């Protein structure tokens, strides 16, 4: 998202994820306007994530998150589209 926001010529962008990222987007792109899709998109747990937590999780491959095959396939398709946009 940050790379897209920087590279696009669009001046107004609706952000449909945790609103905490909007501060960074504004700081890195002062000439653009970022609009939160929802002011309620606040994840208190996301604010607890640290680099140390991520490192531990990758080293231990834990916790394991299990989802249904249907959700896995839908998510895989969505992530694939995001990666295609990032390469474009």
Residue pLDDT, tens place only, 28-82:
999 999 999 988 888 888 778 899 999 999 999 999 989 999 999 999 998 888 7
Partnered with residue 33 across adjacent β-strands are 12
The rounded distance, in Å, linking the Cα atoms of 79 and 60 is 24
d(CA 31, CA 47): 26
CA distance 13 to 34: 5
DSSP assigned state of 13:
E
Q: Is the pLDDT of residue 23 over 80?
A: yes
Give the pLDDT band (50/70/90) at residue 19: confident
Q: What is the pLDDT at residue 10?
A: 93
pLDDT at 60: 95
- Look at the chain and report how many structural domains it folds into: 1
- Find out whether 32 and 12 touch, Cβ atoms under 8 Å: yes
- The domain of 61 spans 2-87
User: What is the model's pTM?
Assistant: 0.55
pLDDT surpasses 80 at 85: no
């Amino acid at each position: 998202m940050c790379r897209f926001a920087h590279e696009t010529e669009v001046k107004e962008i609706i952000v449909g994820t945790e609103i905490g990222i909007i501060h960074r987007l504004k700081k890195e792109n002062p000439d653009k306007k970022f609009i939160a899709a929802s002011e309620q998109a606040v994840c208190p747990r996301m604010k607890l994530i640290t680099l140390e937590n991520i490192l531990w999780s990758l080293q231990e491959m834990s916790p394991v998150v299990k989802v249904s095959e249907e959700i896995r396939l839908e998510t895989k398709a969505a992530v694939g589209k995001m990666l295609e946009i990032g390469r474009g």
